[in-house]
């Protein structure tokens, strides 16, 4: 999966919410890693808009990871 923008990030998050927690976290972590690499790539290419899109999507993914982890700890 390759997430290109916030809209796609939200769609993947919604799709994964029906999965078991472990599967959700696995998918979210893979997406996080991919977005981190995308951000670095865009940064190296001097593509500020690409960096901004990747970082915004990364923020959504990280927030969802935190939500799941805090729910597990309660």
* Cβ contacts of 12-21, under 8 Å, gap ≥ 24: 13/60, 13/61, 13/64, 21/68, 21/72
Determine the pLDDT at residue 74.
80
Determine the pLDDT at residue 1.
75
The whole-angstrom separation of Cα 69 and Cα 28 is 12
Residue 1 resides in a domain: no
Residue 28 resides in a domain: yes
Q: What is the pLDDT along the chain (74 residues), one digit of tens a residue?
A: 789 999 999 999 999 999 999 999 999 999 999 999 999 999 999 999 999 999 999 999 999 999 999 999 88
Residue 27 resides in a domain: yes
Identify the domain containing residue 63 by its residue range.
6-73
Determine the pLDDT at residue 28.
98
Residue 46 resides in a domain: yes
The whole-angstrom separation of Cα 31 and Cα 74 is 25
> pTM of the prediction?
0.94
Number of domains in the chain: 1
């Amino acid at each position: 999966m390759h997430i290109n923008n916030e809209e796609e990030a939200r769609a993947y998050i919604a799709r994964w919410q029906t999965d078991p927690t472990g599967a959700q976290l696995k998918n979210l972590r893979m997406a996080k890693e991919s977005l981190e690499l995308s951000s670095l790539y865009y940064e190296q290419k001097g593509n500020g808009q690409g960096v901004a899109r990747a970082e915004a999507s990364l923020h959504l993914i990280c927030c969802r990871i935190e939500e799941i982890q805090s729910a597990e700890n309660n």
